[in-house]
């Protein structure tokens, strides 16, 4: 499925959800959303150029067989970070203790049975029970339009992204990479 079709499918699913919620409302019935009420966005498989749209990146290159990927969500509207991840088909998993306030896995990485090697040579397995190990963790970064990368000051559930901004989920292992490089 192409990234454009994924975006259209996501918009259609959102419209269907809104329609279903409106139908269940005890208030006076409202008109179902029309195609013009939902904005179809295009998603490309590369970072946005010239601060246009919202760039989303996932970097797991610190892990064995890990990779780095970026997308551009072409929009001129504010977008919730969680919605941006949905548009680019990125899923996150929180921890048992902290829920989605702490990102434990991104797209299933690191898998529970994946050995992560610490600097001292010992092996660690991420179980997502509590906080990840201090040497092997996901962090959330924001890059303001024409600015520098910095740690996000809020989580995925409340973070809003403006056109020109970037969002990155970065896996750091044994201190590397310490920050996004793009």
pTM above 0.85, yes or no: no
Express as a percent the part of the chain with pLDDT over 90. 70
**Mean pLDDT, residues 85-96:** 97
Q: What is the pLDDT of residue 51?
A: 73
Tell me the C-alpha distance between 45 and 149, whole Å: 20
CA 147 to chain centre: 20
Q: Of 9, 21, 24, 18, give the one whose Cα is nearest residue 37.
A: 18
| CA 63 – CA 58 distance, rounded (Å) | 12
- Angle 180-40-138 (CA atoms, 0-180°, nearest 5)? 25
DSSP state of 106: E
**pLDDT score for 11:** 39
Q: How far apart are CA 126 and CA 113, in angstroms?
A: 8
How many Cα neighbours within 13 Å face the side chain of 131?
Answer: 4
């Amino acid at each position: 499925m192409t990234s454009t079709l994924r975006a259209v499918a996501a918009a259609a699913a959102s419209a269907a959800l809104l329609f279903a919620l409106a139908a269940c409302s005890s208030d006076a019935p409202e008109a179902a959303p029309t195609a013009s009420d939902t904005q179809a966005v295009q998603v490309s498989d590369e970072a946005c150029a010239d601060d246009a749209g919202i760039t989303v990146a996932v970097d797991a290159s610190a892990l064995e067989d890990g990779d780095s990927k970026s997308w551009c969500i072409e929009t001129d509207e504010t977008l919730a970070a969680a919605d941006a991840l949905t548009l680019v088909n990125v899923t996150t998993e929180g921890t048992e203790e902290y829920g989605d306030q702490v990102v434990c896995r991104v797209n299933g990485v690191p898998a529970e049975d994946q050995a992560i090697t610490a600097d001292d040579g010992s092996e660690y397995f991420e179980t997502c029970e509590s906080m990840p190990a201090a040497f092997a963790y996901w962090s959330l970064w924001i890059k303001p339009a024409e600015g520098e990368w910095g740690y996000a000051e809020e989580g995925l559930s409340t973070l809003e992204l403006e056109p020109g901004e970037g969002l990155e989920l970065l896996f750091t292992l044994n201190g590397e990479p310490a920050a996004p490089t793009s």
